[in-house]
């Protein structure tokens, strides 16, 4: 789309803090256009509960989103069964997924330059009888891509994952040459496309303690990871590793890198979240669209109190805007 950036912002679980985080954003002027994809009645109810003065404006494709303080553009979605903060209602689950579908399709159609997602509650969606493992997998199916990559980022650190939400006992079997190749290629390509990094430098963690200690603590590094990295190096990827994860996250290594590729969820993310929780951003790579999210959950205990911190959402919007601008620039270079 032409003109200023427009990002879709899904308000997430109605009982959680997502709706009020969206309303908090409207209290100050914005440099990026935001369209909240949500029930307008839900936003109105939460604004009344919190005493926030926000004028909601119905948005239609082609409209410029409102960016001035006290105003918010809303793409209304029907089906929100309850507006009560802090109390989950499975009857709203289809509505929550509908907001994601509308935002995602809007990005694919060019109505939006990207999408930012407030947190959803996976448990209540599954309780409603709807199989759902997360935003990432939902958008992967919507965009019809074979592989996506989860990457979390702060201003100082980016960590991507080879495997995501797997039991630890299943991780080793999931680290195959095919998966490693796909994930590393996506990470390399999207750091170029969405972040403008001409030649990404990637640190790759080993799977086992001490990266296998020469095979004495596991052979995955010798049999799978190192041969696959050599194949990727021959393609031009700049890869260092496999490195022991307990020393990889030190300035000696991180100062030389643009991103870390960790083998599993709790190998890389605890370090990143310790370093920047509340300011970190969840990014889905491998999609044809820009998608970022907050690094926290629905925080039902905070919903409706006005105490929710919008720092991660601000960061997610900032990163999505940067990615969208880089993507536009890359597309323009391709066309020229």
Q: Is 179 annotated as a binding residue?
A: no
Helices (H), 196-306: 220, 226-234, 245-248, 251-254, 265-276
4 by DSSP, 3-state: which?
A: coil
The number of domains in the chain is 2
Q: What pLDDT digit, counting tens, does each position of 213-271 carry?
A: 999 999 999 999 999 999 999 999 999 999 999 999 999 999 999 999 999 999 999 99
Q: What is the mean pLDDT of residues 69-87?
A: 97
Q: What pLDDT digit, counting tens, does each position of 172-203 carry?
A: 999 999 999 999 999 999 999 999 999 999 99
Domain membership of residue 103 (yes or no) is yes
What the block records as the tokens of 7 is: 């990002």
Q: What is the largest CA-CA distance in the chain?
A: 64
Q: Note the pLDDT of residue 3.
A: 59
Residues 186 and 269 in one domain: yes
CA–CA distance, 135 with 206 (Å, rounded to integer): 27
Q: Is 210 annotated as a binding residue?
A: yes
**Residue 65: pLDDT above 90?**
yes
- Of the candidates 97, 89, 133, 131, the residue with the CA atom closest to the CA atom of residue 117: 97
Whole-model pTM? 0.93
Q: Is residue 256 classed exposed, middle or buried when 0-12, 13-18 and 19+ CB atoms within 10 A define those classes? A: exposed
**Residue 80: pLDDT above 90?**
yes
Residues 173 and 248 in one domain: yes
What the block records as the tokens of 82 is: 């309850």
Q: What is the mean pLDDT of residues 32-52?
A: 97
Q: Note the pLDDT of residue 165.
A: 85
Q: Note the pLDDT of residue 331.
A: 80
Residue 95: which CATH number? 3.40.718.10
Residues 126 and 184 in one domain: no
Q: Which residue has the tokens 């820009």?
A: 290
Q: Note the pLDDT of residue 332.
A: 73
Residues 195 and 84 in one domain: no
Q: Is 216 annotated as a binding residue?
A: no
Q: Is 282 annotated as a binding residue?
A: yes
Q: What is the mean pLDDT of residues 146-156?
A: 95
**Residue 1: pLDDT above 50?**
no
Residues 171 and 280 in one domain: yes
- Say if CB 174 and CB 302 are below 8 A apart: no
Q: What is the mean pLDDT of residues 294-304?
A: 95
Q: Note the pLDDT of residue 335.
A: 66
Q: Note the pLDDT of residue 336.
A: 59
CA–CA distance, 38 with 31 (Å, rounded to integer): 21
Q: What pLDDT digit, counting tens, does each position of 112-145 carry?
A: 999 999 999 999 999 999 999 889 999 999 999 9
Residues 139 and 1 in one domain: yes
Residues 124 and 249 in one domain: no
Q: What is the mean pLDDT of residues 12-23?
A: 98
Cβ neighbours of residue 9 closer than 8 Å, sequence gap 6 or more? 22, 25, 34, 35, 36, 37, 103, 115, 116, 117, 118, 317
Residues 89 and 108 in one domain: yes
Q: Is 126 annotated as a binding residue?
A: no
What the block records as the tokens of 258 is: 């643009």
Structural domain boundaries, residue 75: 1-145+297-310
Domain membership of residue 320 (yes or no) is no
* Percent of the chain with pLDDT strictly greater than 70: 98
Residues 136 and 154 in one domain: no
Average pLDDT, the chain: 95
Domain membership of residue 32 (yes or no) is yes
CA–CA distance, 244 with 99 (Å, rounded to integer): 41
Helices (H), the chain: 18-25, 40-50, 93-109, 122-127, 135-143, 168-174, 177-195, 220, 226-234, 245-248, 251-254, 265-276, 311-335
What the block records as the tokens of 48 is: 């009344």
Q: Is 87 annotated as a binding residue?
A: no
Residues 64 and 85 in one domain: yes
Residues 72 and 169 in one domain: no
Residues 53 and 112 in one domain: yes
Q: Note the pLDDT of residue 334.
A: 67
């Amino acid at each position: 789309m032409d003109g200023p950036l427009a990002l879709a912002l899904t308000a997430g679980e109605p009982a959680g803090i997502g709706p009020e985080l969206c309303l908090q954003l409207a209290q100050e002027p914005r440099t990026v256009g935001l369209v909240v994809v949500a029930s307008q009645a839900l936003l109105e109810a939460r604004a009344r509960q919190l005493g926030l003065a926000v004028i909601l404006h119905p948005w239609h494709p082609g409209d410029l989103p409102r960016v001035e303080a006290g105003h918010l553009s809303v793409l209304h979605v029907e089906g929100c069964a309850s507006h009560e903060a802090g109390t989950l209602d499975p009857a709203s689950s289809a509505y929550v997924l509908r907001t994601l579908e509308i935002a995602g399709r809007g990005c694919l159609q060019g109505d939006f330059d990207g999408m930012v997602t407030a947190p959803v509650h996976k448990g209540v969606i599954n309780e409603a009888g709807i199989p759902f493992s997360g935003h990432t997998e939902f958008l992967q199916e919507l965009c019809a891509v074979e592989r996506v990559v989860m990457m979390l980022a702060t201003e100082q650190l980016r960590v991507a994952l080879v495997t995501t939400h797997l039991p630890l006992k299943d991780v080793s079997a999931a680290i195959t040459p095919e998966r490693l190749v796909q994930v590393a290629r996506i990470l390399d390509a999207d750091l170029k496309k969405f972040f403008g990094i001409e030649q990404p430098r990637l640190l790759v963690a080993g799977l086992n303690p001490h990266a296998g200690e020469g095979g004495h603590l596991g052979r995955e590094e010798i049999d799978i990871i190192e041969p696959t990295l050599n194949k990727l190096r021959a393609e031009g990827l700049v890869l260092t590793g496999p490195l022991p994860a307990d020393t990889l996250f030190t300035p000696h290594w991180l100062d030389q890198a643009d991103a870390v590729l960790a083998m599993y969820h709790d190998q890389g993310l605890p370090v990143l979240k310790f370093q920047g929780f509340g300011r970190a951003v969840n990014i889905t790579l491998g999609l044809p669209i820009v998608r970022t999210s907050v690094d926290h959950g629905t925080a039902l205990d905070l919903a409706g109190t006005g105490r929710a911190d919008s720092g991660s959402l601000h960061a997610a919007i900032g990163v999505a805007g940067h990615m969208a601008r880089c993507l536009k620039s890359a597309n323009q270079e391709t066309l020229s």
